[in-house]
Amino acid sequence: MTDRLSLPTGSRDGPALRSFVSAPIPRPRPSEDHLLQVRRTRWNDDVLVISADGEIDLATAGRLERELRHDLPVTTVVDLTGVTFLGVAGLRVIESAAARARTERRAVGVVACTRPVLRLLQLFGVDAHIPVYQYLANAIREVPKASPVPHR
């Protein structure tokens, strides 16, 4: 018994060129701007809503992180209702923003309603130390009341 490969017939120098030319050419990955869009909405003087739409993975998590780094008020609500995929890199960005908020005595809440996002938040226990809401209105109403406790 042999494991002989059957190659397309061609010249004596090798297989026919047509078998190599018809191979699919990989497409470039869409840009970060196309995969994830992030908006900042100042709800009032004390509440900022940062909304993400698209995929948050290793390639796009930096975009969300930039929005969560500067000029944050007392309360920040991260709205993930438009997120179709949340990877571990995105989870780390959210957790580090929440940890930074605790040390600065600010509050952070997350809004999520899609199964892939909720599943990851629950699987890694993020919902135990960051309040997670199903609706944006509830988060805006309740997150400012949550007393930020410094992480020890």
Please state the rounded mean pLDDT for residues 119-146.
Answer: 91
| CA distances from residue 111 to 27, 31, 32, 119, 135 in whole angstroms, order as listed | 34, 25, 22, 13, 6
**Distance separating alpha carbons of residues 1 and 89, to the nearest angstrom:** 49
**Distance separating alpha carbons of residues 120 and 111, to the nearest angstrom:** 13
Domain ranges, ordered by start, for the chain? 32-145
**Listed residue (86, 150, 151, 147) closest to 121, CA to CA:** 86
Question: What confidence tens digit (pLDDT) does each residue in 15-57 have?
Answer: 555 555 555 666 655 555 568 999 999 988 899 999 999 999 9
| CA distances from residue 7 to 10, 16, 23 in whole angstroms, order as listed | 9, 9, 15
Predicted confidence band of residue 151 (pLDDT cuts 50, 70, 90): very low
Pick the CATH number of 32-145 from 3.30.750.24, 3.30.230.70, 1.20.870.10, 3.90.650.10: 3.30.750.24
How do the residues of the chain divide into helix, strand and coil, expressed in percent and rounded to 5?
35, 25, 40
Supply the pTM of this predicted model: 0.74
In the chain, the N- to C-terminal Cα span, in Å, equals: 67
Residue type, 113: C
Write the Ramachandran bin of 71: left for phi over 0, alpha for psi from -120 to 50, otherwise beta: left
On average, the pLDDT of the chain sits at 83
**Listed residue (97, 49, 40) closest to 75, CA to CA:** 49
Beta bridge partners of 109: 77
